[in-house]
Structures are given as structure tokens and as C-alpha cells.
Chains A and B, each alone.
Chain A
């Protein structure tokens, strides 16, 4: 079984929601759609208050190349454009739409014969649909699909690792919509003109491996790769190492070794955009955690308030002490449930008090070296944390500060409960690469 060096084995807690099929969310009364849901330039609002709008209609158009359009996720009347908090902690302009419950779609352009389109036409459709990476980083997909000429792509990897504990959205998609994943992958392969595609899946999802192997039986170019269960197996660089045995050098991108990685959800969105012309307005999101009464995998509309989603899952069965947007290893803790989900929100995890490990006073580093063994990037998190703690920010660069992608493995294993990731972020914010 293929994998990478380092990593950790946190309890995966996927049993809470893994057997619950994807259910469509009940139509929310109101959505608040943030106009920046991606990395890059903010989009420009093209609608105004009072206007009636149909589902799938454009509400914000991209500004510049690294940007993505935003579409309405319900039909109804725009009740205002207001600044609202988003899970990353940023205040973003949001278009508020009162749902008229008619679910009336704008006209979509159907393409039954999508495989005969040219790569540029396919890419244009993906751009129009406002597709961004749905694993969390939300980088516009059409930009990722446009590598510079001197860096040809050799293969596409679909990330079915879903190594974050608790989350099961990608797992359910693999079980329920394998055909669309495979078609999405073929579209990506056509756009990039490659003949090799991998779908990497962790070994704790044997049924997903089986279903996708069956679906791809006749596809000679697509290989299902069984990966060892280990966090962060789904990190781009670790996934490329495990699937294709190529190492992305420090400060380089996957395209430097000819690789392109896409998330499962993104791949399905790509298929829907190309086949049906459907913009990215809804996504599968896992609402789970020990504090949630009925954990579910919801097919949720972008812009739905987190409180509405939790309501739909039966609310809290015990008081929530921490609510996380995303997974517990790299997600963001949020301070209020009155916040909309975005294209990049893969899960909502609500933890009760007893699941939290409070660290009021972290201890000194005892130099046990567990973080060094856990670091998938081969760094020395112990040195980074000690130097940052003492204010030697410049010196942290000698220990490759900027190679850290903050997966949190070091902080997970630290017996002194040192907030290593926090120290790393502090140093990163106070130095220049």
C-alpha cells in the first residue's frame, strides 16, 4: 500500500456519519451568498437590492483571471447586500436572497455530447460555472487547469483520501455518484491532454474502492490507488508521492512535477458544469460531531446559514463547546453559527466539552522528537516552535518555516500540548519568505 513518510493516526470518527446517504437540504428561507468564496480577486456584484433572481443566475462576475463568478443558490428576491462574517474569520459582502420556494432555475445549457468539445471550450464552461477547489482552499479550478506551457501535466489525481477525521462527504459521493466522478476525471484529462488518471482512496473506505474499481473497469487510463490510512494522506504533495512516487520540491507546485490534483467534490462539479451547464451553487457537506443529534451528509446550498444546517440535523444533543468549519485538523473554529457556508466548506463539526482538550498552560518542549517523526514535510517543528516562542522569527527560516503547510500533525502529537501551528503562523506573519 502506498503512502508517504511521517503522518499521524488520529481516531477517524467517520462512523458518526458514514452510513447516512446524501440527503438534499430542505430549502432555506434565506441565503447569504458571500461574493468572495475563493482565493484571488473579489468578484464584482452585478445585481441590486429588490431584484428578483432565478436559481443559477449570476450575482457576481469575476474580476481578473484568478477569480470566480458567484451564482444564486435559490430563486427569490434580493433583500440586501450586507457585510457578514465567513468561516475564515473575514467579513465579506454577501448577497441576501429571500427564497420564494419555487426553485425556479435559470436556463442552463445542456451538452449531451460534451466529450466532443475542445479543451478550451470545456475550460470556459468550468470558469463560467464558478468552480473552485472544494477541499477547503477554494482556488479557482480554471486557473489550476491552465498551467504555463513550459510545465506540461502528465497525470491527474483525484483526491479520495478524505484524511480529515469526521468528514464523509467525499466518501458518500464516491459511493453514490461514481459515474460522475469518472466522467469528471475524463473531462479533466481531456482538458490537460493527459492519458493517465489516478483516484487515490484511503484503505478505510473499502466499499468506495470497490465501487470505483467497478466503474473504471473498462477505463484503461484510470487507476484506483489504495492508500494507507494516515493523516495528512490527502495533502497534495503527500498524495502525489503516494500515487505517482514523485516528490514536489520545496516551494514548488504540483505542476512542477507534472501533476494536477482535484478534490472529489470538485470533480463532480466539473462534470455537472460541462454536462448540464450547472453552476456551483450546492455541495455535499458533512454536518457531524459528538454534539450533533443526527449527523448527516447534506446536499446543501451555498449561502445557507450554519445554524439552519444544524437545525436540519436535529440540533445539538449536548451543548457544543467548539464548532469547526471544515475538518478538525485544518478547519476553522467559528464563534457563531450565524454564518453562511461557502463553496469550500466541506464539513461542520460540532464538538462537546468532553471532546476538547483544553490547553491553558502548555509546557516546555521536552525534545522528544515526536513532531519530527510526524511531520510529513520533513521539518523540525520543535525548533520552529521554540524559536518562534522566543522571538527568533528570522532564524526559523533556517528550519524551512515556509515549507510548513500547517497540517497540524506536530501539534496533534506534542505531549507538552504546545500550539506549534500557532507559533509557525506567528513566525510566518512576521517574516518574509
Chain B
């Protein structure tokens, strides 16, 4: 290294141990951890509404779910002598999403088992963050739903109070819609307007985080505004579902279904904005994302209208997860100036 000094002005041109790397030499401040924690933050409104409607038991479920998800990630990485990455917020996000998708009053072991399946089996055994094929939180929930069908379908009536613990159980709006039809659902809520309002605000039975449409939308718009998700998947998912609900959702005649009920009930919104948009398990090319969203919408409505379960968002997203790499391949982005060579 060179060093030159003058006594007069003390001009320093000494430079030792310069870093030499491949270009580019500047990088954006964005990081994986920042993205993950921001998504965690965007789920706060719906988390809060869940606590408000379902009380402290829901809070315990959420805490158990998050803590066990982070703990399983730590234990797994420690045991296999890998880098500990619990600070990147992805395990916490999986735990939170799993918790929000559980019924409010499940026994304590349910979120723990769910987190184990999500983190260890679905995420880490497939290679950790970035390599999992399926959305970990959804696999966790699917495993629970199939293994504990009874426990996973006990829905508490929302209470709007923090103290009430022995709440009544009731069916979810989608359950009622499936078993007894729209007329019965409107009868329970009084009239159609009240039904919409209650569904929108979230005063209804369901999973902890899926009841309040408005809370989910607040978080979703925050993510859209920050550019962490784009419109492609949520829009195509919701538009497809609405269209199918309108065409085939009615009793008897075509084009008599009620798309709004389908959009704001069940896991549709949280699924479309927070689950289907999971970076790792959705396609990366924008056109492919639209196909992915359409597929999710079609499968969701197929299950809701014709399947055995009242709700189909979870299975729809998981099925489409399998196809994500394939759709990506099909819609491989075309290099700059490509069309002109084709014409030759």
C-alpha cells in the first residue's frame, strides 16, 4: 500500500486493506428480515381484532403458536449445527399465521403440534427458508384439521368482551351457508345489510384472524402500499372467486350467487393477501402469479360449492403451491428484444 504525507496540509492518501469485491458495490438497504417483520406488523390489526372478539384464550393460542414455531426453528438449527436464523422473522411469521388460522378455543397442544409440522416438517426438512414447496402455516393447519377434525371445527361465538370464557359455540357463516343455505344465514343476522356489516367488521364465528375483513384489508393495503406484495395474486384470486360465486353460487339458477358473502367470509381475504402471496411458495413471474391466483380462486370455490368442507382456501392454496414452479417455468420471462428474433 502507498502512503504519502505532507507536513503542510496533511493530505492523507493512505488506504490499507481495501475491500475488493465483484460489482455492484452498493446495495439497497432492504433485507429479508425487514420484509418478514413488516409482514408480521401488517398482521397486527387482524391479530388485535381476533383478541378483541375471542378473548384471552385466543391470545394464549397465538402466543403458543409463535413461541413454539420460533423454538422449533431454533432447536432444529442448533441440533443440525446450522446458522440460527430465528431473527429473520420468518419463523415468527409462520407461527403467527398458523395461530390466526386456528379456532379460538383449541387445547394448548394443538398450536404446538401445528408449529412442529409447519417448521420442522414443511420448512426445515425441505431445506429451510426459500426451499419449502408448501406454505408451512397452511400445512400445519391442514395436518391439524385432518388429525383433529373435531377440535379444529369447534367455533366460538364472538363475545366482544375480554372476560367471557365460556362462550357458546356456533357454526361459521360458511358452514351455515353450506348446510342450511343463504336464507338461514340472513335470518340469523337479521337482514342482508347487517350480515355484510357483521362479516366486514368480524363479529362472527371463525378462526382467530380471519373474521374481520376490515382489519385484514388494512394490513393488506399497507403491504401493497409498501410494495411488499403486488396486486397480481390477490386480485386474480378474489376476482375468480367472486365470478364463480356469482355464476354458480346461487340455489337453482345460474348468475344468482352472492359473491360478497364468499369474499368476506372464511379465510378468503387472509388467504388471498397473506397466504397465497408468500414469496417462497408462489410463482415469481408476474404473469404466472395471475394464473396462480386464478387457480387458487377456482379450487377454493370448487371446494366451497361442491366439496365436503365448507371452506376451501387452505387446500386451494396448497394445491396451487405444487404447481408454482411449473407455472413459473411456463411463463419464464422473455429476454429483452426477444419478439423480434421470433419473427425471423
Contact = CB atoms under 8 A, between A and B. Distances in A.
A421 B15 contact: no
A382 B284 contact: yes
A78 to B, nearest CB: 22
B336 A237 contact: yes
A363 interface: yes
A123 B18 CA distance: 42
Interface residues of B, number: 51
Nearest to B16: A319
Interface stretch (A40-48, A212-220, A331-339): A331-339
B252 interface: no
A337 B25 contact: no
Contact of A337 (B2, B285, B335): B2
Contacts of B332: 380, 399
Interface string A319-333: 111111000111111
Interface in A240-260: 241, 247-250, 252
Nearest to B128: A364
Interface string B22-45: 111111111110110000000000
A419 interface: yes
A412 interface: yes
Contacts, number: 185
B7 interface: no
B335 A400 contact: yes
Contact of A247 (B12, B13, B340): B340
A380 B333 contact: yes
A391 interface: no
Contacts of A365: 130
A416 interface: yes
A361 B83 contact: yes
A329 B23 contact: yes
Contacts of B22: 419, 421-422, 425
Nearest to B85: A363
A411 interface: yes
Contacts of B336: 4-5, 237, 241, 247-248, 250, 376-378, 403
Contacts of A314: 9, 11
Nearest to B131: A364
B32 A415 contact: yes
Contact of A415 (B21, B26, B31, B339): B31
B78 to A, nearest CB: 17
B109 interface: no
Most B CB contacts (10 A, CB to CB) among A338, A351, A369 go to A369
Interface string A359-373: 101011111111011
A329 B333 contact: no
A316 B13 CA distance: 6
Contacts of A375: 333
B18 A334 contact: yes
A307 interface: yes
Interface string B168-188: 000000000000000000000
A311 interface: yes
A54 B341 CA distance: 51
B225 interface: no
B279 A249 contact: no
B129 interface: yes
Interface of A: 4-5, 8, 10, 165, 237, 241, 247-250, 252, 293, 307, 310-311, 314-316, 319-324, 328-338, 349-351, 355-357, 359, 361, 363-370, 372-373, 375-380, 382, 399-400, 403, 406, 408, 411-417, 419, 421-422, 425
Given A311-B11, A366-B279, A412-B28, 13 more contacts: A311-B13, A315-B10, A316-B13, A316-B14, A324-B25, A328-B24, A331-B25, A338-B2, A380-B332, A403-B335, A416-B32, A419-B22, A425-B22
16 contacts: A247-B337, A248-B336, A250-B338, A307-B13, A311-B4, A315-B12, A324-B25, A330-B24, A349-B25, A357-B29, A363-B129, A364-B129, A369-B285, A372-B333, A380-B284, A425-B22
Interface of B: 1-2, 4, 9-15, 18-32, 34-35, 83, 85, 88, 127-131, 279-280, 282, 284-286, 332-341
Q: Which 5 A-B pairs have the closest CB atoms?
A: A408-B24, A364-B130, A315-B11, A247-B337, A369-B284
